[in-house]
Chains A and B, each alone.
Chain A
Amino acid sequence: MGIEQKAGDMGIVTASLEQVVNWSRSNAMWPLLFGLACCAIEMMGAQSANYDLSRFGMEINRASPRQADLMIVAGRVSRKMAPVVRRLYDQMADPKWVIAMGDCAACGGVFNNYAIVQGVDEIVPVDVYVAGCPPRPEALIDGIIHLHEKVRRMRLDGTLREPVHLS
């Protein structure tokens, strides 16, 4: 926040509560350990040594939805899986965010058929869509950084202070 210079050695930091809350929320975001299909393999790739998602503080996956803030829907959601995904989302504590990773989660992808939910936004609200089939690990990391950006611009009531412009 660049406050160290302003505060000097007084041991006092001044910031708005909103800024502090958003700073902590965006820097300690725990994704749900949750993979569905091909995209989950690329998500694992993003967490492995070459792409090292922990640079952004995102490596601690929680297996329990109760401990997670972020659901990365990585892969196609079938009609049979849809109620499970919704239930997991409902079990997550507020505030929570969703990234639709890959074309299937975003819009059904190549599977325009009876079996696949045509976009996970039919069942859960989505904050960031990541395109690709599957997206490269860099694309997922980019999506996560955009989400962090979004969280930093939120009001305490959860609404957005200003629209997020993609650079």
Chain B
Amino acid sequence: MTVTETRARNLSIPAPSQITRPALEGAKETMVLNMGPHHPSTHGVLRLVVELDGETVVDTAPDIGYLHTGIEKTMESKTYQKAVVLTDRTDYLAPLSNNLSYVLAVEKLLGCEIPERATVARVLLVELQRIASHLVWLGTHALDLAAMSVFLYGFREREQILDIFELVSGARMMTSYFRVGGLAYDLPAEFDAAVEAFLQIMPGRIDEYEALLTDNPLWIERTQGIGAIDSDAAIALGLTGPGLRATGVAWDLRKTMPYCGYETYSFAIPTATHGDIYDRYLVRMAEMRESVSICRQALQRLRDIGPGPYMTPDRKIAPPPKSEITHSMEALIHHFKLWTEGFKPPRGDALAAVESPRGELATYIVSDGSAKPYRVHFRAPSFVNLQSLPHMARGHLVADLVALIASLDPVLGEVDR
């Protein structure tokens, strides 16, 4: 075949829109397609029942519960200290954010004050967690749209954050580092240098990711104008996090309902206007940069505060140090009471909301005055965000659905709990 013949043949191949538009005209019959729970792009075990008209999505019904773990119920049989471990495993991409939401709620119940050093360390680690979570989102999102290299680069930096987590808590992912009353252990001596090294390289690395994607025509083609949602619909559907901020609503709990002293840090809330996949991407990229800046401020504060207590001095909540137990009868009794019975918050309920990487994460705890929570409920952002998926997917192609799920960044462990 000559070059002219090849070109003529290529020209005669119709564009996708030329095929779909006439095919859709007057089309009434739809097909129901099952997607998941075992599907490489559903980021876990999400099942979607998709109603299709040709390649176009007419309706989507998410079927959840394939990862239902009974975490809320199991927490009712654990004492308040032990239940921290379970919070790690709801949103497994942001265990520290879950820890924070839970311990803030219990601390609210108890009315306990925690040392400044612990609060600053919490902020620093939660922001590192946000970067780590966004890196997994970025890697898998790009992977779903067939860009493998971003995944490899993203996980390189994520490993560095996990090394910091391992340094402070001994675990890479399931840290359980935030405890009621403060932190599990003191920050190690190497912590400062490790975080400093990470903060030095990270802004440059974000530039690298942006160089790969932001102006990439393939990326733009697959993301711009796809899955757009306006701010009214987003608010009506309860969408929070980067999804909401991409529609132009500057709603971030760190600013609007500050906790852990976030009002004293200087940072911006990145927003966008179109509310499509591309804007969600831009918002998350900008958020990573803001998180780096918050980490830097928090690290400086830790240096200014210097070594000091990392747990509340209240012996009814925090276990006494080992050295005290060996020569103080009272400390021994406190230790024994804490680990056999646990502490007993007064009757009542408490709600603590934090801005997790995925949106508003709130923990609601009802106490009946015993050492175990009567009821724990999570307002999980992944779960609520998922209900805007059918709204966003309507009228787009099946291939766009893959990009759309990735852009919502649901964690099924959190959806199903």
- A residues near B (Cβ < 8 Å) are 33-38, 40-42, 44-45, 48-50, 63, 75-76, 78-81, 84, 88, 110-116, 133-134, 136
> Which residues of chain B from 33 to 64 have any CB-CB distance to chain A below 8 Å in the complex?
37-40, 44-45
Q: Is B173 within 8 A of A33, CB to CB?
A: no
Min distance, Cβ B147 to any Cβ of chain A, angstroms: 14
Q: Is B40 within 8 A of A41, CB to CB?
A: no
How many A-B residue contacts, CB cutoff 8 Å? 94
Q: Is A80 within 8 A of B66, CB to CB?
A: yes
Which 5 interchain pairs have the tightest Cβ spacing? A48-B155, A115-B70, A38-B92, A113-B70, A63-B40
Min distance, Cβ A64 to any Cβ of chain B, angstroms: 10
How many residues of chain B are within 8 Å of chain A by beta carbon?
37
The listed residue (A40, A45, A110, A113) touching B85 by CB distance below 8 A is A110
Q: Is B413 within 8 A of A115, CB to CB?
A: no
Min distance, Cβ B413 to any Cβ of chain A, angstroms: 5
Using A41-B92, A49-B152 as known contacts, say yes or no to A111 and B74 having CB atoms under 8 A apart. yes
Chain A residues positioned under 8 Å from B316 (CB to CB): none
Q: Is B38 within 8 A of A84, CB to CB?
A: yes
Q: Which residue of chain B lies nearest to A32 when distances are taken between CB atoms in the complex?
A: B38
Chain A residues positioned under 8 Å from B395 (CB to CB): none
Q: Bound state CA distance, A162 and B173, in angstroms?
A: 37
Q: Is B67 within 8 A of A76, CB to CB?
A: yes
Q: Is A48 within 8 A of B151, CB to CB?
A: yes
Q: Bound state CA distance, A33 and B140, in angstroms?
A: 13
Q: Is A37 within 8 A of B70, CB to CB?
A: no
The listed residue (A34, A44, A80, A112) touching B68 by CB distance below 8 A is A80
Q: Bound state CA distance, A110 and B74, in angstroms?
A: 10
Q: Which residue of chain B lies nearest to A37 when distances are taken between CB atoms in the complex?
A: B413
Q: Bound state CA distance, A134 and B95, in angstroms?
A: 12
Asked if B311 is an interface residue, CB under 8 A from chain A, the answer is no
> Which residues of chain B from 119 to 160 have any CB-CB distance to chain A below 8 Å in the complex?
136, 139-140, 151-153, 155-156, 158-159
Min distance, Cβ A143 to any Cβ of chain B, angstroms: 17
Q: Is A48 within 8 A of B152, CB to CB?
A: yes
Asked if B20 is an interface residue, CB under 8 A from chain A, the answer is no
Asked if B200 is an interface residue, CB under 8 A from chain A, the answer is no
Chain B residues positioned under 8 Å from A40 (CB to CB): 44
Q: Is B70 within 8 A of A134, CB to CB?
A: no
Asked if B416 is an interface residue, CB under 8 A from chain A, the answer is yes
